[in-house]
Amino acid sequence: MFGCLVAGRLVQTDAQQVAGDKFVFNLPDYENVNHVVVFMLGTVPFPVGMGGAVYFSFPDPVGGQVWQLLGFITNEKPSAIFKISKLKPGEGAEHPFGMMPAPHLASMAQVGVSIEPLEQLVQQTPVPGATVSAVDSFIQFTQKMLDSLYNYSSSFAISQSQMTPNPSEMFIPASSILKWYENFQRRMAQNPNFWKT
């Protein structure tokens, strides 16, 4: 039903079911992990009106497990990236996992998915710093797209003396692509959502 990708190096698809509607993944060596991705496998959708709240738990041998809400996934949003590197142990809130037995390893954390009603999920507040900004991801994607377009079109550049007449071919000056590229970058820096207007 669910999968968990740990910082691009470890994919887990064998969540341990700890209750009828609760699943956990063990995260070994969590101190060296910056991000986790939680995703649906595509085999079993959530029941209608339900989604999965995603929690993170630090190992805490003294005070028991402390769970922190990272966010949620749904049938419409089947995956999410969460930043765990800046989270602090002990900063938890109410959670649905109760007093589960914690893994005994000092370097073993857990990611939990709790199936809950959608109206409840959208009202919950994730721990600060856990969600990866969609704007940041969009800006990174746009920058890579601009670089790719410019590099690709530049690879076909020829000088005017190298041109051979071809009535069916249209040529675009490289300077116009470069000008568009620079204008788009400038507008993106001023307002990442300028393209929506």
pLDDT at 174: 81
- 102 Ramachandran zone, left/alpha/beta (phi>0; psi -120 to 50): beta
- Name the H helices within the chain: 118-121, 134-154, 174-190
Other Cβ atoms within 10 Å of 128 Cβ, number: 10
Give the pLDDT score at 49. Answer: 94
Q: How confident is the model at residue 110 (pLDDT cuts 50, 70, 90)?
A: confident
User: In this predicted model, what pLDDT tens digit does every residue of 41-80 receive, in sequence order?
Assistant: 878 899 999 999 999 988 766 666 778 899 999 998 888 8
Q: What is the pLDDT of residues 19-49, one digit of tens each?
A: 889 999 988 877 888 888 888 887 889 999 9
Q: Nearest Cα to 185, choosing from 137, 147, 136?
A: 147
Provide the CA 32 distance to its chain's centre, in angstroms.
Answer: 18
Structure tokens at 74: 């749904």
The pLDDT of residue 43: 82
pLDDT score recorded for residue 62: 63
The pLDDT score that the predictor gives to residue 102 is: 52
Judge if pTM exceeds 0.85.
no
pLDDT digits (tens, 9 = 90+) for 111-143: 999 999 999 998 888 888 776 655 556 666 677
Let me know: does 111 contact 72? Beta carbons within 8 Å.
no
Reply yes or no on whether the pLDDT at 167 is more than 90: no
pLDDT > 90 in the chain, percent: 14
pLDDT in tens, 81-109: 888 887 776 555 555 665 555 555 556 78
Pairing label, strands 2-6, 35-40: antiparallel
Helix, strand, or coil (residue 169): coil
